[in-house]
Amino acid sequence: MKVSKKILHLLFAFIALASPCAGKSLSSGETALVVARLLENRHYSRQPLDDTISQRMLTLLLEDIDYNRMFFLQSDIDNFEQAYATTLDDAIRRRDVSAATDIYNTYLRRLERLISKLPEFLADPSLVDPRGTAEIRRNKSPWPKDENDQDNIWRQQIASAVVQERLNKHALDKPETVVAKRYERLFKTARNSDSQEQAKMFIKTLARAYDPHSEFNDASEYKSFRIDIGLRLEGIGAILRPDEGYTTVAELVPGGPAAKDGRLKIKDRIVAVAQGNDEFTDVVDMSLDKVVELIRGEKGTTVRLLVIPARAADPSERKVIEIVRDKINLKEKESKAELIEMPDGRGNMVRVGWITIPSFYFDVEQTGRPDAPSTTRHVATLISRLKKEGAAGLVIDLSRNPGGSLEEAISLTGLFIKSGPVVQIKDETGWIRKSMDLDPSVLWDGPLVILTSRFSASASEIFAAALQDYGKAIVVGDRSTYGKGTVQTYIPVSSSRQLFSFMPPPADADALRVTIQKFYRVLGGSTQFNGVVSDIVLPSVTDIEEVGESSLRFPLPYDEVAPLNIERKDNSEVIAKLQTLSAARVAKNREFLDVKEDFARLTARMNANVISLDESVRRAEIEQEKVRRKNRKEARAKANRPEYPSYQITVETANEPSLELRQAVLDRKRKEAQNHRATKSTEDDESADDEENLLSGERPEIDPIKDETLNILVDLVNLSGRSDTVQSR
């Protein structure tokens, strides 16, 4: 019998992973060695465990322990570099994970010394010098030169925290008390860390040294992950991430209580949590697990979040958001459409369609049923109704789509192309598989625009890239999408199961989430790192380098494979014309001028990276920001914005004889949200009207990106000569 090289390679890899420790639980050192072997043999990069991995691990360990470079001295860093920069790989082979404990103990000594000085600093009337400034983030600043330099940095950060609490109108206690409790909790948590936790941190950095999406979960974490998946339909519907001491909102689930409420935003930072009407618990510098535990709860219970808004003019700005935990309405997660009538610039009205796809979903529990919920089936239903209504062009909105099912991305692409390749997938052995659409039928061959953003990732990027490569769509939005072009799988970290590591890990096992494949476009370029570059870029406050794969530590690089031979339409001339027409409109659009101003202010603030310690200056800046928002709100109210008929289409209503006006739908949802949310102050709501709430429900009513995307689509309709679908009014 002839055996393929790929099968032989996998057999040898499995055999190599066999451990002499079969039949018993693994020690931390043995676990580290098994994880290392798995990463060497199964990770896409096939990167050996060597000095490169050792240096990356040390970098991650130092960042995880002292993210703001406040506690370690430069001399400590020099010692760590000398001792561990090129030796952690060797230590893993010896089953030695003691480096993490050594580094952590140094941190604990430095932290204890600084905590001992905290009462003295907080009691000093000259702590806050109004002439001084503080760094907002120190993650790229030099490490303290010595203890005197460290004391100055420590005083500066303490002073900044005190000023921030003084300006906080939702103060939990006296500013000095809040700051003291916060750092005392940090020290207590640090002191309670044991060698097992430090060893786990060591192994986690080993996985992340290969790429940011590879991750080690011990048995309790993996079990919790499985529980979260099973209970994913209850809670507030928010995905949280740690970010330099804060818990940050990474994603809001469409249909979830937080998304329906509408006030919690992507990149908001949660600083305190309260149950019902109980007092707030400060969660700054609290572990993510404990914060999630405070926020998670049963349906019908209430949680209050105290957050720093993502676009706060000052870090002292706070907003209280009360959310009733509930089950997520699956219907809200389905794709939906609008039929919009708007002028074509030639004296006529044209009908166009807008389809919002929140994710690439498929209900595996209903596999085989013809009515099983799926993105492709739902979008096909919506397109059929739009065609029946005479839509001349179509927008596919992926701007809030983080990805999902690869199979759905491929089958959805098939609605727009004849049979052919959609994506190339390369594994760790170098073998390239072509995923094909085999159905020659095409449901939509008219003008098509795909709207993306920095939050469009994974399966969204595959779909957008394929249609861009075939020349079937114009991609509009941020400069590029997120740039996640990799596939991960879970492998059990258990010596007795290594020969069967293609099986899912049992619930009670340690598990390694490892990157095993990489996506490539049909024309050869990877969607990894660079994402999908827009044909037409629109001004956006989300178009920042801090959002995306390139902002993460040690991402896999962009590269290319051989392009495939496809029938491709050349859109270069059309794109050039569309760019010119769009640029002229954007330059005169008041809303885009505001977006550009916001982006410039945000960029300047991030680049300056300093904030005044003068309370009067800070209060004046906060008032100026309020005035700016108020003036914008008033200008919008006075603006004579044209309103065009827009009809809502859902999967359920697609076959109804008549369509409902979208405004009626929005009014109903707004009323539901008002009943759902707690009473709040007007001040808390000031930033809500002009913020695009990505990944959470409806787009804002005043949305220049949506307006301009529709204008681009109408231009495309005109250039395509589809006058038969233009209706006179």
Q: What is the DSSP letter of 496?
A: G
Q: How far apart are the first and last CA of the chain?
A: 73
HSE on the CB side for 454, CA within 13 Å? 19
Cα R_g (the chain), whole angstroms: 27
Query: At residue 629, what are phi and psi to the nearest 5 degrees?
Result: -65, -40
Q: How far apart are CA 395 and CA 385, in angstroms?
A: 14
Residues with Cβ within 8 Å of 724's Cβ and at least 6 positions away in sequence, in order, are none
Nearest Cα to Cα of residue 472 among 405, 563, 535? 535
Three-state SS at 515: strand
Nearest Cα to Cα of residue 446 among 415, 409, 401, 412? 415
The one catalytic residue in 200, 267, 472, 484 is 484
DSSP 386-412: HHHTT--EEEEE-TT---B-HHHHHHH
Q: Give the strand pairing for 448-452 and 393-397.
A: parallel
Q: How many residues does the chain have?
A: 729
Q: How far apart are CA 419 and CA 468, in angstroms?
A: 16
Q: Is 1 exposed, middle or buried (0-12, 13-18, 19+ CB in 10 A)?
A: exposed
Residues with Cβ within 8 Å of 196's Cβ and at least 6 positions away in sequence, in order, are 28
Nearest Cα to Cα of residue 528 among 564, 488, 563, 560? 560
The two three-digit tokens of residue 675, written as one number: 């009943």
484 a catalytic residue: yes
- Whether the Cβ atoms of residue 695 and residue 402 lie closer than 8 Å to each other: yes
Q: Measured at the alpha carbon of residue 597, what is the angle toward residues 135 and 400, in degrees to the nearest 5?
A: 90
Q: What is the DSSP letter of 666?
A: H
Q: To which residue do tokens 């005109």 refer?
A: 718
458 a catalytic residue: yes
- Whether the Cβ atoms of residue 441 and residue 417 lie closer than 8 Å to each other: no
97: number of Cβ within 10 Å: 26
Among positive and negative, which fits the CA dihedral 20, 24, 25, 28? negative
The one catalytic residue in 335, 458, 534, 582 is 458
Q: How far apart are CA 679 and CA 173, in angstroms?
A: 23
469 a catalytic residue: yes
The number of angstroms, rounded, from the C-alpha of 492 to the middle of its chain's C-alpha atoms is: 26
List residues with catalytic annotation: 458, 469, 484
